[in-house]
Amino acid sequence: MSLLTVDKLSVAFPGHVAVREASFSIESGETLALVGESGCGKSVTAFSVMRLLPSNARIASGRILLEGTDLLSLSEPEMREVRGAKVSLIQQEPMTSLNPVLSIGLQITEVIRRHEKLSRRAARARAVELLDLVRIPDAHRRLDDHPHNLSGGMRQRVMIAMAVACRPRLLIADEPTTALDVTTQAQVLDLLDDLRRRLGMAVLLITHDLGVVAQWADRIAVMYAGRIVEQGGIEPFFARPLHPYSRGLLGARVDVDADEHYSKNRLSEIPGSVGSAAGQAGCSFAPRCPVAEPACRRAVPPLVALPDERAVACPVTVVLAGGPHGAALR
């Protein structure tokens, strides 16, 4: 049984469907990257798993199974036992998640004592251990600091300490390093990966940065306009992305290792924007797609399984790959 199975999840806001029949699963201890551009539904998916959607959002259909239990069937008190203890969330901007008037020690012990019966003193000792664990120097002296005394990277470490305090099985990291500098990003991602191994957590890594995905994830799911359009292992994905959107994304990215310069070559673009498909039937990517056929504008293509545990929601690609058996992929 997978640790987490999201099954045909749809989430609607007034006048807008943010997630459309998204299905994916995460195995114990692995890192799945959920990738896509702003507004594609990746954060809404994460918040659905935490059951922390804004009040105007509605889960229209689907199931979210954590170790076999459907989180959508839990009452709010039951869900509070799950948050932090089994699934935790860290976000892009730690400053908005931390309470600015409380010391970080107090905020960490609060999390610990929410789920475990520990004295104040024992919880404080655990908090020091946790700050050590996330590699904050002089942890015992840092407990009485307030968030504004810390740098951005240190704040994100505090968030991570709080998130892993009760050893969750799954950590959802929503753009955890997007607000950080590149050298700090490397430190924080290295820390997350180390914790994943030491604590046996799975990580759902939400990002728009394909470099981060290539270096830190085991598998990838690509979202476009609320739907998952491609899934697969990291190496086959980067060696041969299948969906035209995935290919476009990798093509439009400037890779720091590539010897590309404006004086020699032009960047390949994906024409238009996500809004191009507003109000149209069929595949949402069709208006921007270089290989779209008339059929693409009629029906939404299903996610079709291919060899190598890959899947793609593009009939044109499936045909090119040699059908669902993927003769051409072998």
- Residue ranges of E strands in the chain: 4-13, 16-26, 31-35, 58-66, 69-70, 87-90, 170-174, 202-207, 219-224, 227-233, 304-306, 310-312
Q: Among 7, 30, 37, 110, which residue interacts with another protein (rule: CB under 8 A)?
A: 37
152 in contact with another protein (CB under 8 A) = yes
CB closer to another protein out of 86 and 155: 155
238 in contact with another protein (CB under 8 A) = yes
- Among 66-74, 87-95, 102-110, 245-253, the segment contacting another protein (CB under 8 A): 245-253
Least spacing, CB of residue 40 vs another protein, in Å? 9
Least spacing, CB of residue 26 vs another protein, in Å? 19
Neighbours of 33 (CB within 10 A): 25
Single out the residue of 74, 58, 59, 62 nearest to residue 24, CA to CA: 62
Least spacing, CB of residue 212 vs another protein, in Å? 5
257 in contact with another protein (CB under 8 A) = yes
Q: Among 69, 99, 215, 280, which residue interacts with another protein (rule: CB under 8 A)?
A: 215
Cα 191 to Cα 27, 158, 184, 185, distances in angstroms: 20, 12, 11, 10
Q: Among 190, 280, 299, 323, which residue interacts with another protein (rule: CB under 8 A)?
A: 190
- Among 52-60, 98-106, 110-118, 259-267, the segment contacting another protein (CB under 8 A): 259-267
- Kindly report the length of the chain: 330
211 in contact with another protein (CB under 8 A) = yes
Instruction: Tell me if 224 sits within 8 A of 36, measured CB to CB.
Output: yes
- What gap in Å lies between CA 252 and CA 267, rounded to an integer? 6
186 in contact with another protein (CB under 8 A) = yes
Instruction: Tell me if 164 sits within 8 A of 201, measured CB to CB.
Output: yes
In order, the DSSP letters of 28-41 are: TT-EEEEE--TTSS
269 in contact with another protein (CB under 8 A) = yes
Tokens of 186: 């490397």
Q: End-to-end alpha-carbon separation of the chain, Å? A: 28
75 in contact with another protein (CB under 8 A) = no
Q: Among 118, 122, 128, 234, which residue interacts with another protein (rule: CB under 8 A)?
A: 234
User: Contact positions toward another protein, by CB under 8 A?
Assistant: 37-38, 151-154, 181-187, 189-190, 208-216, 234-235, 238, 248-250, 252-257, 259-263, 266-271, 273, 275
